[in-house]
Chains A and B, each alone.
Chain A
């Protein structure tokens, strides 16, 4: 008996001790980490309240700018990720061949000093700037660009965005250190837009990629103002200033190294937590703040709200033209007239956006102001009239029907703002006598359903910086494998869309999109609803944060006023 007890005791004591040790270990660690990693935002907290709102201050070196982001990227090998947030972060590491003026949206030289295009628009010659170095010390040459783009085009890399941005490129060559030659399959107007992005198509150090192997995605190397420092899984990604950086993007005022010592991205998924982190100084910039939360920061001088219109159409309804009901133009037009865009915008995004009347948002090249005049306004009576012209009659329940079949339609929506909008759409269509059922799906399932064509209507949104996005959504080649969920197959539109992507002269190209815009509105395949604003809130000790209408926040002129 005595031995049993003692064994019992030993086991019990071991159990107790290990439990206690687990608890202790937890507490012990916390002390050490807290001393070794002080909260980066902490240093900038103290003087914030007293700073005068002077704008002609001289930028100072030092400090840290901490940016809160909702999502954490999968990796920072920019050719292997498909996440927008990875591009947003990796843009600090790189730069584009050309750059785009934030005011005029014109393209200017950057890592290429100049470029020429052959008469047939298929051969592009870029002269690469001298004196630029990768952060691992290797010089940037035309060969670096050639190898980078060849890597993106190599199917083994499976480059998602970089690969598709270069999809019209047939070959990339570097006859000497200064000359980069891109040969295209056909003239491709969006090329400069894609080449101007500091993220997706930035030059990569092949030496660094070979050296790091599999780990490159977590220790990337570029030519940009910020050098990768560390990645704490689930928490943050940090950069330190690239001291050698003397080749800033010409759109920035500061042409030398960045002012702050560090740039930190913190991942905070919860909206309330993000705002609390901003207000308590844990972060300096809160990104993607909802319209409903932004007002109090607009009224507070300690904060600066930076807003931009989403680059792409924020929200629109796609009608599935595989369904007989939507093969009638009158029905499509009737739905367009039955939707009160302003009311949806007010309810869902607090009016923080622009009502959309055509397929292109005002932020994109090719948008034509005239669309507001010829686009469909909210006119319930005319909507009903159109349905009657199409052969529909109201039944006893007040729902339109044809051949004994009531006009009942399903609409797909993602949860969140889309689902809210869907409820309003349901009510508005009910008003004219159309019965709508809402099917709420999460993103992946929605795209799957839409791709298979198993739907009547779906809400949709997209982000892309070039009007060529309309090719992806409306060209007949994109029905089976692409984003043309509406299954629009129209020869006139097809040739216009091809013309839009192959016309390199920008004035001529603008005219093409003017025509496309008008034609898409006439045919009423979509119901455009709104383009929403996106908000970032900056805390006052951080100055000089600028906004690029297509790229978002720019930090080259930013500094910490401490």
Chain B
């Protein structure tokens, strides 16, 4: 197990190195000069050149990259071009808000997704199954910003139940978390249904029912655990991607998390901050993936961590 985790951490490091090269190249390739954006419309060429030199942006890209990398290994993600504050400070200030949003969104997604999935599988081919899966299809097709705006229009502007742009309080959290949760639940419910339908057709389920076990026990104790592997995978991946991918939701609801920080950083071509955010999310992604792999073996004892090495 220890060896497995170490090995995964090692390959994670390589992935992160790749991410850093890729993000570095990408951000420098987007047209737009951070210096011009920083100095505003009345800047003279002299001011522009002076600042470019001061920030080291006049050096070759490769030099800039290795300089950046060596700083990262010393735990220094650089300072934001815009605010002049350490990148890590900027990220850590915003990260809790994103965790809060992604976490509650995920919780809602799991609750809705698994409930709907199990019900749809249990009542397969009935009206209930049909409606649940239609809703799930609808959910996949709805753009998040649209659902968000719709919820704002109804619950904030019309009914006045929930505030907007108020901060990160519980009431502020409801609408963005629901938007996020509803949309993320669709994949979970489809996967849960598929897994459950398969498992419910197995002989041991018939045996369990024949034993006279209650339906709840059959569904949750015997069937659900075995149907959970793909669900856990997707939930794990979704948590990771939600942490980095609440961008649109954060923007629509003016939620002060990492996503909205990323957008403004990209808009102002704040290179160190953008790179910092991408790397930070990369680390979380890698860690969560390792965690998910470990979780497999717990949920399904037939899978040993050793097997995972061969990619089972």
Given A41-B166, A233-B256, A269-B264; A26-B103 close (CB under 8 Å):
yes
Q: Check if A282 is an interface residue, CB within 8 A of chain B.
A: yes
State the Cβ distance, B101 to closest chain A Cβ, in Å: 7
Q: Are A269 and B254 in contact (CB under 8 A)?
A: yes
Q: Are A160 and B45 in contact (CB under 8 A)?
A: no
State the Cβ distance, B194 to closest chain A Cβ, in Å: 24
- Which residues of chain A come closer than 8 Å to B103, judged between CB atoms? 22-23, 25-27
Q: Check if B171 is an interface residue, CB within 8 A of chain A.
A: yes
Q: Check if B37 is an interface residue, CB within 8 A of chain A.
A: yes
Pick the residue among B36, B96, B239 that contacts A448 (CB under 8 A). B36
The segment out of B7-15, B26-34, B121-129, B211-219 that lies at the interface is: B26-34
- Write the B283-312 contact mask toward A (1 if CB under 8 angstroms, else 0): 000000001001101100100010000000
Q: Are A160 and B99 in contact (CB under 8 A)?
A: no
The segment out of B62-70, B134-142, B148-156, B202-210 that lies at the interface is: B148-156
State the Cβ distance, B233 to closest chain A Cβ, in Å: 14
Q: Are A482 and B44 in contact (CB under 8 A)?
A: yes
Q: Check if A441 is an interface residue, CB within 8 A of chain B.
A: yes
Q: Are B167 and A31 in contact (CB under 8 A)?
A: no
Taking Cβ atoms with an 8 Å cutoff, the residues of A that contact B are 4-5, 7-9, 11-12, 15-16, 19, 22-23, 25-27, 29-31, 33-35, 37-39, 41-42, 45, 68, 72, 74-75, 82-84, 158, 160-161, 164, 217, 232-236, 266-270, 272-274, 276-277, 279-283, 441-445, 447-448, 451, 462-464, 472, 480-483
For residues 249 through 308 of chain B, which have their beta carbon under 8 Å from a beta carbon of chain A?
Answer: 251-254, 256-257, 260-261, 263-264, 269, 291, 294-295, 297-298, 301, 305
Interface of chain B, main secondary structure: helix
A27 to B107, CA, bound (A): 10
- Which residues of chain B come closer than 8 Å to A276, judged between CB atoms? 152-153, 156-157, 164
Nearest A-chain residue to B235, judged by Cβ: A19
Q: Are B32 and A34 in contact (CB under 8 A)?
A: no
- Which residues of chain B come closer than 8 Å to A5, judged between CB atoms? 301
Pick the residue among A235, A462, A472 that contacts B167 (CB under 8 A). A235
Q: Check if B160 is an interface residue, CB within 8 A of chain A.
A: yes
State the Cβ distance, A100 to closest chain B Cβ, in Å: 20
Nearest B-chain residue to A30, judged by Cβ: B170
Nearest A-chain residue to B153, judged by Cβ: A276
**Smallest CB-CB A-B distances: 10 pairs:** A34-B169, A12-B298, A234-B256, A39-B166, A26-B103, A26-B100, A444-B36, A444-B33, A23-B103, A481-B45
- Which residues of chain B come closer than 8 Å to A462, judged between CB atoms? 41-42
Q: Are B44 and A9 in contact (CB under 8 A)?
A: no
Q: Are B99 and A22 in contact (CB under 8 A)?
A: yes
State the Cβ distance, A212 to closest chain B Cβ, in Å: 14
- Which residues of chain B come closer than 8 Å to A27, judged between CB atoms? 100, 103-104, 107, 170
Taking Cβ atoms with an 8 Å cutoff, the residues of B that contact A are 1, 31-47, 50-51, 82-84, 90, 93-94, 96-97, 99-104, 106-107, 149, 152-153, 156-157, 160, 163-173, 239, 251-254, 256-257, 260-261, 263-264, 269, 291, 294-295, 297-298, 301, 305
A19 to B290, CA, bound (A): 13
Interface centre among A30, A39, A82, A164 (most CB of B within 10 A): A30
Pick the residue among A15, A29, A37, A68 that contacts B295 (CB under 8 A). A15
- Which residues of chain A come closer than 8 Å to B160, judged between CB atoms? 45, 280-281
Pick the residue among B31, B82, B254 that contacts A442 (CB under 8 A). B31
A39 to B170, CA, bound (A): 11
Q: Are A19 and B291 in contact (CB under 8 A)?
A: yes
Pick the residue among B34, B173, B251 that contacts A444 (CB under 8 A). B34
A32 to B149, CA, bound (A): 27
Given A26-B104, A160-B43; A277-B165 close (CB under 8 Å):
yes
Given A22-B103, A235-B256, A277-B254; A74-B83 close (CB under 8 Å):
yes
State the Cβ distance, A146 to closest chain B Cβ, in Å: 24
- Which residues of chain A come closer than 8 Å to B97, judged between CB atoms? 234
Interface of chain A, main secondary structure: helix
> Can you name 15 extra interface pairs (CB under 8 A) apart from A15-B294, A26-B100, A268-B254?
A9-B298, A15-B291, A25-B103, A34-B167, A34-B170, A37-B167, A39-B163, A42-B163, A82-B43, A277-B165, A280-B156, A280-B164, A445-B32, A448-B36, A472-B42
A338 to B166, CA, bound (A): 49
Q: Are A8 and B251 in contact (CB under 8 A)?
A: no
Q: Are B254 and A30 in contact (CB under 8 A)?
A: no
Q: Are A12 and B84 in contact (CB under 8 A)?
A: no
List 10 A–B pairs whose Cβ atoms lie within 8 Å, in order of A's numbering.
A8-B297, A23-B104, A23-B106, A26-B101, A30-B100, A74-B84, A269-B263, A273-B152, A280-B156, A481-B46
- Which residues of chain A come closer than 8 Å to B165, judged between CB atoms? 68, 266, 268, 273-274, 277, 282-283
Nearest B-chain residue to A21, judged by Cβ: B103
Q: Are A234 and B260 in contact (CB under 8 A)?
A: yes
Given A8-B1, A41-B166; A83-B40 close (CB under 8 Å):
yes
Q: Are B298 and A8 in contact (CB under 8 A)?
A: yes
- Which residues of chain B come closer than 8 Å to A68, judged between CB atoms? 165
Nearest B-chain residue to A469, judged by Cβ: B42
Q: Are B41 and A447 in contact (CB under 8 A)?
A: yes
- Which residues of chain B come closer than 8 Å to A26, judged between CB atoms? 96, 99-104
Q: Are A30 and B173 in contact (CB under 8 A)?
A: yes
- Which residues of chain B come closer than 8 Å to A443, judged between CB atoms? 32, 36-37, 41
